[in-house]
Amino acid sequence: MRDREGQTSYAAPRVDWKISDFDILGRLGAGSTSTVVHARRRASGMECALKVVDKHLVQRNRLLEYVVRERRVLDRMDDQGVARLLFTFQDAAHLYFGLELCPQGDLFDQVQARGTLDLEAARAYAAEVVLILEYLRGAGVIHRDVKPENLLLTDAGHVKLIDFGCVKDLRDGGEGEPAAGGGRSPNRLQREKRRVSFVGTADYLAPEVLENTRVSFATDLWCLGCTVYQMLAGRPPFRAGSEYLTYQNITNRALTYPEGFPEVARDLVEGLLAADQGARLGADDIAEVKAHPFFEGIQWCSLREAKAPEYRPRPRADPEEEGLDWDLKSMVEAVPVTYEYVPSVQ
């Protein structure tokens, strides 16, 4: 596929396609400014996860720089643990990102279906996340929203990370910067602060994100700790009755463990959920995480070729049961296209 403008700066091409070129097979997920659908291109039969981004919502919430950054970072991701960006196109109302399809749901689905995961499954999944974080660190990328809902399963049961909408690209902005701020004008600073709660996920937010201080690679280690805890406890570690109380639990590190929580996993979680970024296990070198006794027996070099934990397949979506008309014409025509101009991010 060639870039429609003859440009070669992007690995994933800009294509001259239309949404009417696709059959929509079901909804995969939704965010604050986008919907992700299982799509099949009629001409070739190629299936993908098609992220449909609403330009109006992006513009209204002043999130264009986040969308641009997500596209640029995804384009240079080249790792088995990251869902690949395949192509992009746009029309007057929407941006479309064609992403590698991971049809078996996410890690959150597996935890919900079983209540908790056994230690061996949690160890294998956590190890794959460690490899992903190792790759991101080498690429100069802080994801900031690693969580079970963003860890998809392939048909083989291996993990792929998605949703780079909160990403911090150190190649773009130099050293790690405050989650919101760092020399910006007061008005822009206030907008940035509002965006932290807009793009973040309360249960997994690291203290430095809540406090708008400098983020680092250790921010993703905090998210890893929350994910390990949830796989084994069945719930996020700091969840409370409201978002405010959850924030308080994170800030005060009010962390308790259910009866029977494996001691070796508890030691790992304690190391990853240190309040001080610099004190987190792996903050200086992720090899410290790989060497933890929790991962004893993991063959790191062959992990992604090894047999993955058994999983419960995701049921195929039934459009009629969801009450949706998957002729995308209805979806597109339902949205007015009288928006102000939004620059191309393809």
Options 54, 109, 145, 163, the catalytic residue: 145
**Structure tokens that stand for 8 in this block:** 């070669």
Q: For position 19, what pLDDT does the model report? A: 97
Reading phi first (left if > 0) and then psi (alpha if -120 to 50, else beta), residue 168 is in beta
Tell me the whole-structure pTM to 2 decimals: 0.85
Q: What is the pLDDT of residues 16-35, one digit of tens each?
A: 999 999 999 999 988 889 99
Residues of the chain with pLDDT under 50: 1-8, 174, 177-199, 321-326, 329-330, 333-343
Q: For position 312, what pLDDT does the model report? A: 85
CATH 3.30.9.10 fits 19-102+318-333, yes or no: no
- Domain 107-305, CATH number (from 3.40.50.620, 1.10.510.10, 3.40.190.10, 1.10.760.10): 1.10.510.10
Is 145 among the residues known to form the active site?
yes
Does the annotation flag 51 for ligand binding? yes
Q: For position 318, what pLDDT does the model report? A: 54
Q: For position 200, what pLDDT does the model report? A: 53
Domain range annotation of the chain: 19-102+318-333, 107-305
Q: For position 43, what pLDDT does the model report? A: 97
Decide if 19-102+318-333 and 107-305 have a common fold. Answer: no
Q: For position 321, what pLDDT does the model report? A: 46
